[in-house]
Amino acid sequence: MKGPKTVRVNGIDISYDDAGTGPLVVMVMGTGSPGRVWQAHQQPALVKAGYRVVTFDNRGIAPSSECAEGFTHDDMVADTAGLIEHLGAGPAFVVGTSLGARITQELALARPDVVKAAVMIATYGRNSPLQQAISAGERALYDNKITLPPDYAAAITAHLNLSPHTLDDDRAAKDWLDVIGFSPQTVTAGVRAQLGLHDREADRLGAYRGISRPALVIGFADDRTLPPKLAREVADAIPGARYEEISKAGHFGYLEQPGEVNRLLIEFLDAHR
């Protein structure tokens, strides 16, 4: 591990971690989560497989600039491109989940020069009514200064993001509730700015026909937050994209089923080294 660093790109500060040697993999996290979430399972597996792995905190997530005044998807795409250019080892393999997957596919479209191949996990190309309603509710909670009781917040987070197969096991459910409760997601002003993105997302499926980089899309069969049909739509839109769906996994499938996620990632990256 080379340790956390901060770099000025695209007019803001980006905090990142750099580990391993080999072809560069840049990993983009989803709404409200720090880049270190990748370090639980994906980063170690990719480093062991011979890759240099960079994880980072998106704008909105301290210690990167929070940019509480608001920002756009284009800003986040430019941040990721700027980080890859700073690292000087591109084009990079880019892997994203949820909002990070949306950024990844937009990056592959807008800046194919910095993307060697792209992996989108639990992704989407358009808003669904449920996604819009959940996002609006999250914004309203923050704007009205409402804080849910911690145990209830943990239960809602688990219900929305974990597979019923996980939650049907009482011991596993208790362990997950403990983990979520010990490390709750705090909605800061920067996270609120990220949530604001979801109110302005257009249907981009037609545009994704212009993506020219090799692409792997991974959906999770039990994803309540972004159902796998949305990920499949993205794969269907990108010429030549490969789609894989992992069973017994919810929106946090990369944490629930890390072995299968890592297997697909390494298989795809190795094929495009």
User: Mind telling me the catalytic residues?
Assistant: 98, 223, 251
Block residue for tokens 């996604």: 131
Q: Which of 52, 45, 36 is nearest to 259 (CA)?
A: 45
String of b and e for 130-152 (b: at least 16 CB within 10 Å)?
ebeebbeebbebbeeeeeeeeee
Quick one: CA dihedral 86, 92, 97, 98, positive or negative?
positive
Q: Are strands 12-19 and 4-9 parallel, antiparallel or unpaired?
A: antiparallel
